[in-house]
Amino acid sequence: MQTNIEQAKKIIQEADAILITAGSGMGVDSGLPDFRGTAGFWKAYPVIKNLGYSFSEMANPAWFHKDPELAWAFYGHRLNLYRETTPHDGFYMLLDLVKEKNEDYFIYTSNVDGQFQKAGFDEEKILEIHGTIHHFQCTCSKHGIWSAKDEKVEVDMQKFKALNIPKCIECGGTARPNIMMFGDWDWLAKRSDKQEALYNRWIKNIANKKLAIIEIGAGVAIPSVRMKGERISKQHPNATLIRINPRDFEVYLEKDISIPLGGLEGIKQILN
């Protein structure tokens, strides 16, 4: 492992640009749960275990129509949890790194928790491919997307019911987070599309630069984040993927680097 760490350090030192790709494992060292498998999900939500729903069943937009109090118990609790969470030191070490690289960076994440923004990364340099919990939209999908900063959701965790249901600012219908859920035809992609346009422009501009892709805590169940880094590394002769993950740490290209550690420890090791 020491060799991998040394290699990663060198790649990062020599890089002109940094792409940080992150899945829910990035939040684990800040105290947030990942949802690794149904067992992992139920460990984070014993109440949902009693109901017998998997993550994909729970993260389904149909609940906002069938049982908004249950839907908002799940998302309201997560909204409150992410609001209360302080990003771990790894976020700030990465922030220092991208400052050293003249802010030539982008964040590509499936996380909906807003922790990169909270740590001070530039809003214009973050692509949230699955949306965010910190913005809401209408369940009918016909109205806009708005910031949730003035919204409060109270949850009775014993009964697993929301005590209030956020409403659409235009029609008064049930609101929902602007998160892409499972079997979701109503998710409004406008905000993520704008982020994606900025990301596409950036990745095109750095085509001839040395790129270090630092991936932290991206899972295998929905591998969009992993595949993004793997593909760029494969297509881009000057790119190297550094994969930090305590369990799913394998890499497939000779040039890519595996760091089988947790997020905070892995970041510390490669940036020290």
Ligand X SMILES: NC(=O)c1ccc[n+]([C@@H]2O[C@H](COP(=O)([O-])OP(=O)(O)OC[C@H]3O[C@@H](n4cnc5c(N)ncnc54)[C@H](O)[C@@H]3O)[C@@H](O)[C@H]2O)c1
Query: Which residues of the chain form contacts with ligand X (CB under 6 A)?
Result: 23-25, 27-29, 32, 34-36, 110-113, 130, 216-219, 221-222, 245-248, 262-263
Give which of Zn ion, ligand X, none residue 171 binds (C-beta under 5 to 8 Å, depending on kind).
Answer: Zn ion
Query: What SS3 class is residue 256?
Result: coil
Q: How far is CA 61 from CA 96, 110, 140, 146, 178, in A?
A: 38, 18, 11, 18, 11
Shortest gap between Cβ of 102 and ligand X (angstroms)?
Answer: 27
Q: Quick check: 171 binds Zn ion (CB under 5 A)?
A: yes
Report the residue from 168, 211, 241, 257 that binds Zn ion according to the rule CB under 5 A.
168
- Angle CA(175)–CA(37)–CA(68) in degrees, nearest 5? 20
Of 44 and 163, nearer to ligand X (C-beta) is 44
Of 245 and 258, nearer to ligand X (C-beta) is 245
Q: Which two tokens stand for residue 139?
A: 């369940």
Q: Which two tokens stand for residue 19?
A: 């792409």
Of 168 and 216, nearer to Zn ion (C-beta) is 168
Residue type, 125: K
CB-based contacts of 187: which residues, under 8 Å, 6+ apart? Answer: 61, 131, 137, 141, 178, 179, 180, 181
Report the residue from 118, 143, 161, 167 that binds Zn ion according to the rule CB under 5 A.
143
Q: Quick check: 144 binds Zn ion (CB under 5 A)?
A: no
Part in contact with Zn ion (CB under 5 A); list of ranges 64-72, 109-117, 137-145, 246-254: 137-145
Shortest gap between Cβ of 17 and ligand X (angstroms)?
Answer: 23
Shortest gap between Cβ of 73 and ligand X (angstroms)?
Answer: 16
Q: How far apart are CA 29 and CA 31, in angstroms?
A: 5
**Matching residue, tokens 């949850």:** 155
Q: Quick check: 213 binds Zn ion (CB under 5 A)?
A: no
Q: How far apart are CA 220 and CA 224, in angstroms?
A: 9
**Matching residue, tokens 């690794």:** 36
Contacts with Zn ion by CB under 5 A: the residue count is: 6
